[in-house]
């Protein structure tokens, strides 16, 4: 790379980092937290003995997992305004990503709950615990240990998927790289820097995942 390319990289390191800190990471965090809430509710609905509720949960999961995330983003941002629902780029991305995470994570949480022996449900009922208390104090803490690895993978995938938000005009990391590279057509250098930023975030998340798994070991039934 010549000196002009290095100057271009140096000039855009901070704008790209700023976009990472103010757009990419918040977009990931908010979407993941909201997605987990949706996933838990959908997983419990999926496990429900109420057939209509379980059927709705099944359809939701099927729709989310059976359609591309990019299409979901386009529906939320470009299609909904045609029926009067106009959403700004960042909230639209949060909405679409949250629904997407909810659809995938719901099956992870459902499988984790089903992995807990039925005897623990029965023991909790024996000592007078209700359904909600049993979930909160007995089932979910143990299920969390099983769910952490796949949910962490979902989070890492979400970090990378936030790059799709550039298609609906969210000025996240990739969007800033695109705008900076457009005048000079030096896409290789700035896209390379963007890739490094994504990689560093994923490395940090992988490290946090390992620590969280270690802390949750105490909840594993022996």
Q: Residues near 54 by Cβ (< 8 Å), separated by ≥ 6?
A: 45, 46, 47, 48
Quick count: other Cβ atoms within 10 Å of Cβ 47? 14
Q: How confident is the model over 129-149, as a mean pLDDT? A: 82
Q: What is the pLDDT of residue 221?
A: 47
3-state secondary structure string across 2-60 = CHHHHHHHHHHHHHHHHHHHHHHHHHHHHHHHHHHHHHHHHHHHHHCCCHHHHHHHHHH
Q: Count CB-CB contacts under 10 A for residue 138.
A: 18
Quick one: which H or E segment has residue 193?
helix 187-216
Q: In whole numbers, what is the pLDDT of the chain averaged over residues?
A: 90
Q: Which CATH number characterizes residue 153's domain?
A: 1.10.3720.10
Asked whether residue 184 carries a pLDDT value surpassing 90, the answer given is: no
Q: State the average pLDDT over residues 35-39.
A: 97
* pLDDT for residue 4: 81
Please give the Cα distance from 137 to 124 (Å, whole number).
Answer: 10
Q: In 3-state terms, what secondary structure has residue 158?
A: helix
> 140: domain range?
3-219
Q: What's the chain's Rg over C-alpha atoms?
A: 21
Domain tally, the chain: 1
Residue whose C-alpha is closest to residue 102's, from 141, 51, 145, 60 = 60
How far is Cα 169 from Cα 191, in angstroms, rounded to an integer?
17
Cα–Cα distance between 201 and 162 in angstroms, integer?
Answer: 12
Token duo for residue 201: 């975030």
Interatomic CA distance for residues 222 and 119, integer angstroms: 14
pLDDT tens for residues 162-176?
999 999 999 999 999
- What are the tens digits of pLDDT across the range 48-90? 889 999 999 999 999 999 999 999 999 999 999 999 999 999 9
User: Tell me: the pLDDT tens digits for 80-108?
Assistant: 999 999 999 999 999 999 999 999 999 99
Q: How far apart are CA 196 and CA 203, in angstroms?
A: 10
């Amino acid at each position: 790379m010549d000196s002009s390319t290095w100057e271009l990289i140096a000039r855009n390191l901070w704008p790209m980092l700023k976009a990472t800190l103010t757009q990419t990471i918040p977009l990931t965090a908010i979407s993941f937290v909201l997605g987990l809430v949706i996933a838990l509710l959908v997983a419990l609905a999926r496990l429900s003995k109420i057939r209509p509720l379980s059927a709705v949960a099944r359809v939701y999961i099927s729709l989310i997992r059976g359609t591309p995330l990019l299409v979901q983003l386009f529906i939320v941002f470009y299609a909904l305004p045609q029926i009067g629902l106009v959403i700004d780029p960042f909230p639209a991305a949060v909405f679409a990503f949250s629904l997407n995470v909810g659809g995938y994570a719901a099956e992870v949480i459902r499988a984790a709950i089903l992995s807990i022996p039925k005897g623990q449900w029965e023991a909790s009922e024996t000592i007078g615990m209700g359904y909600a208390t049993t979930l909160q104090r007995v089932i979910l803490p143990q299920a969390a240990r099983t769910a952490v690895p796949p949910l962490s993978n979902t989070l890492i995938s979400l970090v990378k998927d936030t790059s799709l938000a550039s298609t609906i005009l969210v000025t996240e990391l990739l969007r800033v790289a695109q705008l900076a590279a457009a005048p000079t057509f030096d896409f290789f250098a700035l896209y390379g820097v963007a890739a490094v930023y994504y990689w560093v975030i994923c490395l940090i998340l992988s490290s946090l995942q390992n620590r969280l798994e270690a802390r949750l070991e105490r909840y594993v039934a022996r």
